[in-house]
């Protein structure tokens, strides 16, 4: 680790590819757990929350909700005495997203330190890392780090003599994408089927076991110790003037690009820089056809959108969402009907089945696309798909799952309508041939 890196890439400065993650001693030697000491000894919980608010840290799970504002919704201990919870959403399952895995596998102590500082800010009595069951290595490394932190007195009773106590537990899930929805995650953590809950009340008021609960994404939380150590102004400056948002962002690229991977860059870096400089462009002989800015539930953008800054507001203005910020690039050899069929297969299978629009609408959408892919599209299919994008729009289904599913569909219909129309022309010709015979 160099001082340089921690100045510009705080989240990944301690990560070296191919090297085992730092243990407690090494992590402390590299500046680790300084934020815990500073927060617990010098700052009030409200000070920590204010620093995160001032830093304009926006939720890195995809929605971009300001992290500090979320914490601020938790009622004070006077108003709501008793247990309260911090939950890290480490159920990374958004297709095309592979950033939280890196943070947890390669720098588990950073995750643990983040949980402690954030837990202190909301005065949590217990904290959970809700980790997807398939992340075996992350579970192993996090549990080792937690054991070390417990032994060193960073967790447990009366942490560093502050009078505040918190336990931290890694809860591993058993699958299902819907667990990433924060209220479904809470139901799952309670040992129930992961159906989302009605909001309000929001988890900050009544979450896990009906108590005040904050659910934050891994990457959001990992920024917190750095904000506490270096201040809000420093954090805002990490964007190098590329965005209104503060900090760096883990950006990535998957699909048929030359060097797929993940990079920590100033938030607001352009998609072109990510794809062309860091990922080395598309593989030889392939051209970029379309791209998803941050996961399966974001609208497709086109090559002409590559110069947009990858931040929440800029990508939203272009009609999509930054989402998780990891690009999925679609090459020119792909048929968009097939690509969208693949996406809707995922969403249909992962519907929790709670509400009718999602449970019935997504399989219907999927089956329509399967037929179209086979060249068996019927007149009216495109209009039916468009109707779905309205029936499953935000506010109609119970949660954001089905609206997310409609984003790639509606944008593919907008940009590539001809490819969908072509599947229908074929059956018209077949019918015509039959009629002639």
The footprint of other proteins (CB under 8 A) covers 83, 92-98, 100-101, 126, 132-136, 169, 171-177, 188-194, 209, 252-256, 260-262, 292, 296, 326, 328-331, 334, 339, 342-343, 345-346, 348-353, 359, 363, 366-367, 370
Q: Minimum Å distance from CB 34 to other proteins?
A: 29
Q: Which is nearer to other proteins, 236 or 348 (CB)?
A: 348
> Alpha-carbon torsion 192, 197, 203, 205, what sign?
negative
Q: Which is nearer to other proteins, 190 or 421 (CB)?
A: 190
Contact criterion met (CB below 8 Å) for 289 and 332: yes
What is d(CA 88, CA 91) in angstroms, rounded to the nearest whole number?
9
Q: Minimum Å distance from CB 124 to other proteins?
A: 12
Q: Which is nearer to other proteins, 66 or 261 (CB)?
A: 261
What is d(CA 74, CA 88) in angstroms, rounded to the nearest whole number?
16
Kindly provide the residue ranges of all beta strands, DSSP E only, lying in 267-358, ordered along the sequence. 288-292, 326-331
Q: Which is nearer to other proteins, 92 or 273 (CB)?
A: 92
Contact criterion met (CB below 8 Å) for 362 and 347: yes
**Listing from the earlier edge strand, what are the strands of the sheet with 126-131?**
167-172, 126-131, 85-90, 213-217
What is d(CA 19, CA 8) in angstroms, rounded to the nearest whole number?
21
Q: Minimum Å distance from CB 284 to other proteins?
A: 15
- What tokens does 212 get? 């005040």
CB atoms < 10 A from the CB of 257, how many? Answer: 24
Q: Which is nearer to other proteins, 97 or 183 (CB)?
A: 97
Q: Which is nearer to other proteins, 23 or 335 (CB)?
A: 335
Q: Which is nearer to other proteins, 51 or 282 (CB)?
A: 282
Non-local (6+) Cβ contacts of 200 within 8 A are none
CA atoms within 13 A on the CB side of 17: 3
Q: Minimum Å distance from CB 74 to other proteins?
A: 17
Q: Minimum Å distance from CB 312 to other proteins?
A: 21
Contact criterion met (CB below 8 Å) for 117 and 106: no
Non-local (6+) Cβ contacts of 156 within 8 A are 150, 165, 166, 167
What is d(CA 264, CA 62) in angstroms, rounded to the nearest whole number?
16
For 338-368, the DSSP string reads: HHHHHHHHHHHHH--S-SHHHHHHHHHHHHH
Q: Minimum Å distance from CB 209 to other proteins?
A: 6
Q: Which is nearer to other proteins, 45 or 173 (CB)?
A: 173
153: region left, alpha or beta (phi > 0 left; psi from -120 to 50 alpha): left
Q: Minimum Å distance from CB 434 to other proteins?
A: 26
Q: Minimum Å distance from CB 3 to other proteins?
A: 28
Q: Which is nearer to other proteins, 68 or 293 (CB)?
A: 293
Rg, the chain, Cα only? 23
With 0-12 / 13-18 / 19 or more C-beta atoms within 10 angstroms meaning exposed / middle / buried, residue 433 is exposed
Q: Minimum Å distance from CB 227 to other proteins?
A: 26
Q: Minimum Å distance from CB 203 to other proteins?
A: 15
Q: Which is nearer to other proteins, 182 or 245 (CB)?
A: 182
């Amino acid at each position: 680790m160099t001082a340089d890196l921690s100045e510009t890439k705080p989240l990944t400065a301690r990560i070296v590819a191919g090297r085992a993650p730092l243990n407690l001693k090494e992590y402390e030697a590299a500046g680790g757990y300084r934020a815990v000491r500073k927060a617990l000894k010098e700052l009030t919980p409200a000070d920590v929350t204010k620093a995160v608010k001032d830093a304009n840290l926006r939720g890195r799970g995809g929605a971009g909700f300001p992290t500090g504002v979320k914490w601020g919704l938790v009622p004070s201990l006077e108003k709501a005495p008793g247990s309260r919870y911090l939950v890290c959403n480490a159920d990374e399952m958004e297709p095309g997203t592979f950033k939280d895995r890196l943070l947890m596998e390669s720098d588990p102590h950073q995750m643990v330190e983040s949980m402690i500082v954030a837990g202190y800010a909301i005065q949590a009595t217990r904290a959970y890392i809700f980790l997807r069951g398939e992340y075996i290595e992350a579970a192993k490394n996090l549990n080792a780090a937690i054991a070390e932190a417990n032994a060193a007195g960073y967790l447990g009773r009366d942490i560093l003599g502050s009078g505040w106590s918190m336990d931290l537990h890694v809860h591993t899930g058993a699958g299902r994408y819907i667990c990433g929805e924060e209220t479904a995650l809470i139901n799952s953590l309670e040992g129930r089927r992961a159906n989302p809950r009605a909001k309000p009340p929001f988890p900050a008021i009544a979450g896990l076991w009906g108590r005040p609960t904050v659910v934050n994404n891994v990457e959001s939380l990992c920024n917190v110790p750095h904000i506490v150590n270096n201040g809000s102004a420093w954090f805002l400056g990490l964007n190098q003037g590329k965005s209104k948002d503060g900090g760096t962002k883990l950006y990535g690229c998957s699909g048929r690009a030359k060097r797929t991977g993940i990079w920590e860059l100033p938030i607001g870096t352009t998609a072109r820089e990510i794809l062309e400089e860091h990922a080395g462009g598309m593989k030889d002989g392939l051209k970029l056809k379309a791209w998803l800015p941050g996961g399966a539930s974001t609208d497709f953008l086109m090559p002409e959108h590559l110069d947009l800054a990858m931040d929440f507001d800029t990508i939203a203005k272009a009609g999509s969402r930054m989402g998780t910020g990891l690009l999925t690039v679609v090459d020119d050899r792909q048929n968009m009907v097939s690509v969208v069929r693949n996406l809707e297969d995922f969403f249909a299978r992962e519907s929790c089945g709670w509400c009718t629009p999602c449970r019935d609408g997504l399989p219907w959408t999927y089956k329509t696309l399967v037929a179209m892919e086979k060249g068996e599209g019927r007149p009216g299919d495109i209009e039916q798909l468009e109707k779905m994008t309205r029936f499953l729009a935000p506010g109609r289904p119970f949660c954001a799952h089905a609206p997310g599913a409609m984003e790639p569909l509606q944008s593919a219909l907008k940009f590539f309508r001809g490819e969908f129309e072509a599947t229908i022309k074929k059956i018209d010709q077949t019918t015509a041939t039959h009629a002639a015979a």
